Structure 1
Amino acid sequence: MHFSKIFAGVAMASTVMAALTPQQIADGIKLITQKSQALQAPAQSITTLNGPLIAIGQGPYPTIINGFTDIVSTANTLIAQFPGTAPITKRSEAGEREHPKGLIARGPDAQTFVAVHQALLNILIGKAGLFSVVPVIGQPVATSLRGVEGVVDSIAITLIQLIRDPTADITPDANSLDATLTLSIDVYEGLLS
């Protein structure tokens, strides 16, 4: 799911009747990635003192949960526009074939969709260990993570079906992100007991 590797910075060839252009897909994925990256700082700020504040709607967890809700909403808007989108082939604006490794995000410090989401999820997984005796945190976080998992799966499945270049298979990346999402959900569901 190195979406930026596949889409950003490169105009993709697509038929005229597509519901979304490859650039619109790239822009939508970039927006979701930015929203996820913005949640890393609140996730890093979780401590044993401010984590339990979730019970009164304060602390970093409500910010993260609201951020996940925003990601799900943004992703659902993108997903709703996928029907009718034509298959995607990798081509530069000049129509020349691009090597998959040449399809990178704009800017030297750009991160991929998968890397950004996994970084956030790994922070949350690590912070969950602080709250093995605070079950009030588990349910709302696990629920919001399930929502993110649903839209990430929908986007991944759709893109796997749309991309018509065997050298740009995103299945391994989708599986990797799915495994990290599953682990994070399991960790927060474990706080329920």
Structure 2
Amino acid sequence: MHFTKILSAVSSAALFTSTGMAQMTAHQIVANINIITGQSQALQAPANSINILSGPLFLIGQGPFPQIVIGFTQIVNTVTNDITAMAGTQPFSVLSDEQSILDAFTTFVTVHQELLNILIGKSGILNDLPLIGPPVAQVLRSLEAVVDTIAFNLVDLVPDVAAPFTSQKNSLDVTIGLAITAYTPVV
């Protein structure tokens, strides 16, 4: 099947390990978060286009689902690279730096939750097509793992805004969990 290659790429990205790098600036971290936000925003149009024909089209590698799975795979790869780049970065001590990272992450959470909520809402259209859910759920699980990892890394870098940062992370975790559940077939 066409999505086997996609899922293989997701698995490979999840196995990527980090090595020590130089200290990143708050501006660099914000720029990286903004890239991920843009990737999430770009997937909203394909997610909105899901309809009853999307299921059969996915099975032949067409329609919005391959684009969505590939897009999530790209997000996983971007976040994995960001995690690697942040290795060795020490916590920030300037509140404005911490706040800019929190603001960027909050925007990412908002945009990403919008995307996930679209997918959750569209999942009911495809309830009768059990071949669609597993690859989508699998890429969402990979996404959940890297988002959790980067969020834990980031919260350590912003001690003065750790509480609101953690709240944003927890809110996103709930939405990702709901999306995974929506695309996990009931056995």
What TM-score comes out, normalization by structure 2 length?
A: 0.81
In 2, the alpha carbon distance for the partners of 1:139 and 1:120 equals 18
Q: Contact 1:52 / 1:136 at 8 angstroms: preserved in 2?
A: no
Superposed, which structure 2 residues align to 1:106-117 within 5 Å? 112-117=107-112
2:58 aligned to which of 50, 54, 74: 54
In 1, the alpha carbon distance for the partners of 2:149 and 2:43 equals 21
Per-residue deviation, residues 47-84 of structure 1 (Å, max 9, x unmatched):
00123211110000000000001001111110012221
1:82 aligns with 2:86: yes
In 2, the alpha carbon distance for the partners of 1:145 and 1:85 equals 27
In 2, the alpha carbon distance for the partners of 1:167 and 1:179 equals 18
In 2, the alpha carbon distance for the partners of 1:73 and 1:43 equals 20
In 2, the alpha carbon distance for the partners of 1:159 and 1:138 equals 31
The count of aligned residue pairs is: 165
1:39 aligns with 2:43: yes
The aligned counterpart of 1:149 is 144
1:130 aligns with 2:134: no
- Where structure 1 has 5 or more consecutive residues not aligned to the other structure, the ranges are 1-16, 106-110
The percentage of aligned residue pairs carrying the same residue is 52
Q: Contact 1:18 / 1:86 at 8 angstroms: preserved in 2?
A: no
In 2, the alpha carbon distance for the partners of 1:166 and 1:54 equals 42
- Where structure 2 has 5 or more consecutive residues not aligned to the other structure, the ranges are 1-20
Shift of 1:88: 1.6
Q: CA RMSD in A?
A: 2.3
Closer, same or farther: CA 149–28 of 1 in aligned 2, 3 Å: same
In 2, the alpha carbon distance for the partners of 1:175 and 1:166 equals 14
In 1, the alpha carbon distance for the partners of 2:146 and 2:173 equals 11
Q: Contact 2:58 / 2:66 at 8 angstroms: preserved in 1?
A: yes
In 2, the alpha carbon distance for the partners of 1:154 and 1:134 equals 32
Q: Flag the structure with larger Rg.
A: 1
In 1, the alpha carbon distance for the partners of 2:174 and 2:163 equals 20
1:26 aligns with 2:30: yes
Q: What SS is found at the alignment partner of 2:183? A: helix
In 2, the alpha carbon distance for the partners of 1:166 and 1:124 equals 30
What TM-score comes out, normalization by structure 1 length?
A: 0.78
Closer, same or farther: CA 27–55 of 1 in aligned 2, 3 Å: same
More deviation, 49-58/24-33: 49-58
Shift of 1:86: 1.1
Q: Which has the higher helix share?
A: 2
